[in-house]
Amino acid sequence: MPKTRSVVLGGVGFIGSHLCRELINRGHEVFAIDIRDITHAPMLRTVAHEGSFHFIHHNIIHPFGIRCDEIYNLAAPSMVRYNRALPIETLRVAMVGSIHALDTARTEHARVVLASTGSICSRSATNDEGINSTTQEWLIEGKLAAESLHRAYRQECGVDTRIARIFNSYGPGCDLMDQRVVTKWIVAALQNRDLVIEGTGEQRRSFCYISDVVEGLITLMQALPANHTRTVHLGSEEPIALLDLAQRIIHLTGSRSRIVHTAPRRNEAQSRQANLELTRREMGWRPSISLDEGLRRTIGYIERELSERAGSFCSWIEINQ
């Protein structure tokens, strides 16, 4: 029986690299497409030379064609690392990139899962003046447009599309330089630096461990076809206040870090929580890794990464003492 041919757009990213590994473990032939180099994905080191894994350096704002059975569209500009708003690039990847992915799916009669964002569920009013929009706001606008495109291709062209609204994901394999709150605070705590909270810290967020996110994406892809575009949430129904999260990270790392508050972020949602009613009913999915267990695993990974990086700067004399 031939292997399932899976395309992962954004395959070098945090979620994408974990997804590639899991699909290979399940016997798929995987094609990771990304504009970043594969060396940026530590989770792909063990599969990079396997015959069932293929890396394609390509920007999906340009057309592409590849024989496949399924497409996971996880592509998004990795701006969280730099905290910069790049509105044109963000919208082009979300909209033009989605069109090219959907056209490929239409030609190949493949299924498509779009990785959207849980931030859509708590979006603030649109900035009508278009001034000083944040990275997050541009991302939300792009994902809303991408969702509409997937529903349009389903309705007009019969493409089998599914949408996963992913809430805050975290876990091993993260980029230690990015600005995702869990990674940023664990790195700071392990270095006994201040943990900075914008506002009071009463904002509540839904966190989901990476293996649960990947399982949810695969389960959604494998679900039986429906006469509509399924849109499900992947996250936790038990959100945590950011202040409580910071205190928990300090406790689990044994850190001497302080919690410092700064001015609140403009138009920040006070609560962002996944609703898993439809996800459970149609997919039977729910997260299995608790927040404490997920944080412990992530702390262990980041601690090892920081230790290896510190060791790489030792002199010859220090190494041989």
CA distances from 215 to 12, 106, 121, 183 (A): 18, 25, 22, 21
pLDDT digit of tens for each residue in the chain (321 aa)? 789 999 999 999 999 999 999 999 999 999 999 999 888 788 898 888 888 999 999 999 999 999 999 999 999 876 544 445 678 888 999 999 999 999 999 999 999 999 999 989 866 544 444 444 667 788 899 999 999 999 999 999 999 999 999 999 999 998 888 778 999 999 999 999 999 999 999 999 999 999 999 999 999 999 999 889 999 999 999 999 999 999 999 999 999 999 999 999 877 888 888 999 999 998 999 999 999 999 999 999 999 999 987 765 443 334 333
Best CA proximity match to 190, nearest among 176, 200, 179, 208: 176
Token reading at 41: 């994905």
- CA 229 – CA 256 distance, rounded (Å): 48
Sign of CA pseudo-dihedral 147, 216, 19, 223: negative
How many separate domains does the chain show? 1
Strand partners, 163: 114, 231
In a domain, 36, yes or no: yes
Per the domain annotation, does 20 fall within a domain?
A: yes
Contact 32, 44 (CB under 8 A): yes
Q: Which domain holds residue 15?
A: 5-172+208-237+268-288
Tell how strand 207-209 and strand 271-272 pair up.
unpaired
Instruction: Look at strands 53-57 and 230-234 and give their pairing.
Output: unpaired
The answer to whether position 293 is within a domain reads: no
Q: Is residue 104 part of a domain?
A: yes
Q: Does residue 39 lie in a domain region?
A: yes
CATH number at residue 69: 3.40.50.720
Domain assignment present for residue 124? The answer is: yes
Residues 6+ positions from 296 with CB-CB distance below 8 Å: 252
Contact 96, 76 (CB under 8 A): no
Q: 106 lies in a domain?
A: yes
Asked if residue 309 belongs to a domain, the reply is no
